[in-house]
Amino acid sequence: MASLNAKSNLLLLSLLFLSLTTLLTSADKKPVHLHFYMQEKVTDPNATAIVVAKGPIPLPGTPYRFGDIAVVDNALTKGPYLDSGLVGQAQGLFTVMKSDLSVIWTFNIVFTYGENNGSTVAILGRDAITQPSRELTVVGGSGIFHMAQGYLLIKTYSVNIASGDAVLELDLYVYPFKK
Ligand SMILES: *[C@@H]1O[C@H](CO)[C@@H](O)[C@H](O)[C@H]1NC(C)=O
Ligand SMILES: *[C@@H]1O[C@H](CO)[C@@H](O)[C@H](O)[C@H]1NC(C)=O
């Protein structure tokens, strides 16, 4: 009986130790912070965001309609200007909502330059475009961002209300997967 108790105490202790180490390592993780800009060009020629399905209901004060679906291949740059150095591309889709001027993004950040070249970060989330800062979710990644977690903050740097052309400021906080 005594030895059984000792055994279960040992088991409890090792379980406690295991959960403590898990807690400590997850609290220990620091996000990688990457800062860059997204160049969204809606107008021809050389559009990088094109509406492929047009919704029926215009949204006043915007070039968009409720239900629009756009395919996006936007340049990601180091600075706010198109010629300020490429970081990669934002490739995916957004769909336009109605009630609160928001769009739902599903896209990949595809790094094509620098130390992250070849890796991707997958983003899903809600972008309420009139808000000063919007938080989207990192749902995964590939390469050095394999199984990553994190979040993406989007701010509007500049926008042409008539055309929809915009420059967005992106702050990506990504916690790389650690074994
Ligand atoms: C469109 O892209 C081409 C090729 O990159 C470039 O020469 C041209 O200046 C661009 N036009 C506009 C209006 O940006
Ligand atoms: C990025 O990686 C690809 C594939 O390995 C390579 O072809 C390309 O030259 C690299 N780009 C830069 C800017 O290093």
Cβ of 118 closer than 6 Å to ligand 2, yes or no, is: yes
Cβ of 113 closer than 6 Å to ligand 2, yes or no, is: yes
Find the mean pLDDT for residues 160-173.
Answer: 93
Atom of ligand 1 nearest to the CA of 41: 14
Q: Read off the tokens for 170.
A: 């992106």
Strand partners, 168: 38, 156
Ligand 2 centre distance from Cα of residue 35 (Å): 20
Ligand nearest to the CA of 111: 2
> Which residue has a Cα nearest atom 5 of ligand 1?
46
Task: Give pTM, 2 decimals.
Answer: 0.82
Ligand nearest to the CA of 165: 1
Q: Which residue has the tokens 């919007």?
A: 134
* Mean pLDDT of all residues belonging to the chain: 88
Residue ranges and CATH numbers for the domains of the chain are 31-175 (2.40.480.10)
Q: What are phi and psi of 153, to 5 degrees?
A: -100, 130
Pocket of ligand 1 (CB under 6 A): 45-46
Ligand 1 centre distance from Cα of residue 46 (Å): 6
Using an 8 Å Cβ cutoff, are 164 and 64 in contact?
A: yes
What's the DSSP call for residue 116? G
pLDDT the model gives residue 63: 85
**pLDDT tens digits for range 29-87:** 789 999 999 999 998 889 999 999 999 999 988 888 999 999 999 999 999 999 999 99
Return the exposure string of 62-97: e unless at least 16 CB atoms fall within 10 Å of the residue's CB, then b: bbbbeebebebebbbbeeeeeeeebbbbbbbebbbb
Q: What percent of the chain clears pLDDT 90, i.e. is strictly above it?
A: 72
Ligand 2 centre distance from Cα of residue 95 (Å): 31
**pLDDT tens digits for range 113-138:** 999 999 999 999 999 999 999 999 99
pLDDT the model gives residue 24: 47
**pLDDT tens digits for range 92-114:** 999 999 988 899 999 999 999 99
